[in-house]
Structure 1
Amino acid sequence: MKRKLKVIFIAVYFAVLIALFGFICMCFVSCACRSDKKNSVDINHFELDLENVPEGTAFADILAKGSWEEIGLWDNGFNKQSLKLDDNCEIVQYDEDGYKSLMFKLYIVLEECEISTEKAHGHMCFGGHGQVIFEKLPYVKVAYCDKDGNILGITEKKKVMPAYLRLVQYEFDADGGELSYKRITKRPFFQIWLLMLIMLILGVFILIRMPDPINTEHIQSGEVDNESEKQD
């Protein structure tokens, strides 16, 4: 019975491994054949989409809270010069409840800023490794600002959940007072590789620890021989 269970375990175990390996191969083929640049992932940028912005909004900034002492403060003069802001304007000096400006207190680059006041929406793109930033600064808000750096409104706060065992690009959506985000994964099959490795190690461990089946035929024949010797 134990030998039969061992054979069944080995068959099921390797069937699952083969299925996972096939799925990984399909992921590789899918990524290799994908040619649409819109579906590409750039982990060195993160984006901000804006809807229903307050009247007079010229740009928006992400306010972040977390371990600023670990990530390090940086006086970002490049972004201030790009937006023609004074050092003493409200958004540059913002520091409330641990929240500070990403654009002016961290080394990220404002690469794109398109705000339509007529349609009340816009899009912004920042150069920076968002995964590293939001692991250290997970609590975020978005501040709507006018051309002089005065804050016109701030969204609700949102906690950015960390992404483990994969590389991701972050996209934030601010709609009036609401804030949401999504993560675009670059390597969704890395976790499956890890799962296969764990299963392989676990399977080898179980096979090593599994006791050998007892040879019942040998025991029975030995018992018959002992009984015959006693009778003699």
Structure 2
Amino acid sequence: MERNSLARVIAVCALLGALSALVVTSGAAAAGSTPKCTITGTPGNDVLTGTRGSDVICGLGGNDTIIGGAGNDTLVGGAGSDKLVGAGGNDTLSGGAGNDQLVGGAGNDQLDGGAGDDTEDGGAGNDELVGGVGNDQLDGGAGDDIEDGGAGDDQLVGGVGNDQLDGGAGDDIEDGGAGDDELVGGAGSDQLNGGTGNDSAAADSEDSATGTEQGDSSSSSSSAF
């Protein structure tokens, strides 16, 4: 009996040790992957609003509306067609799967639509916009913006400022707007319009490039409008 009891104690101790190691490993992996959510939604359709501080707001499933408020916020839409609004601060917006609407607002924001046909508006500030997979519409707004359409037939607008536009794969339409812009057509039959300013373009034989300034010129390959 004593030997059996001792054996059971040893087995229980071994099991507890294994569970403890598993918990530590899982916690470390979770801590190193994504920021901890300070405000979390549900699997349904949520309306989530941040605080005056820097929040990490996670919508999870459903068609969510997430508003960051003041502070440098991180907004994660998750699955569903979400609307993310950064408002004030230097915000990071991630739409995830679904046809999402991302609005950076004031500040130097980072917008990533993810999969789906997304609409992104950087607003004021020097913003970075990534369309991802899908037919996306990107508008940098005021400021020196960087835009990457990704895969799909995208529409990129630079707005006011010295912008960098890259359509990526697909038949894209790019408009640099005001400022000295750099436009890259990428794969596909693209339409590149430098707008006002001293603009440059990297276009191939399948692309069309036009400019409006007298000092602009256009040609295939890498060129200046």
Structure-2-length-normalised TM-score: 0.22
Q: Which has the higher contact order (CA 8 A, sep 6+)?
A: 1
- Structure with bigger helix share is 1
Larger Rg: 1
**With structure 1 as the length reference, what TM-score do the two structures score?**
0.21
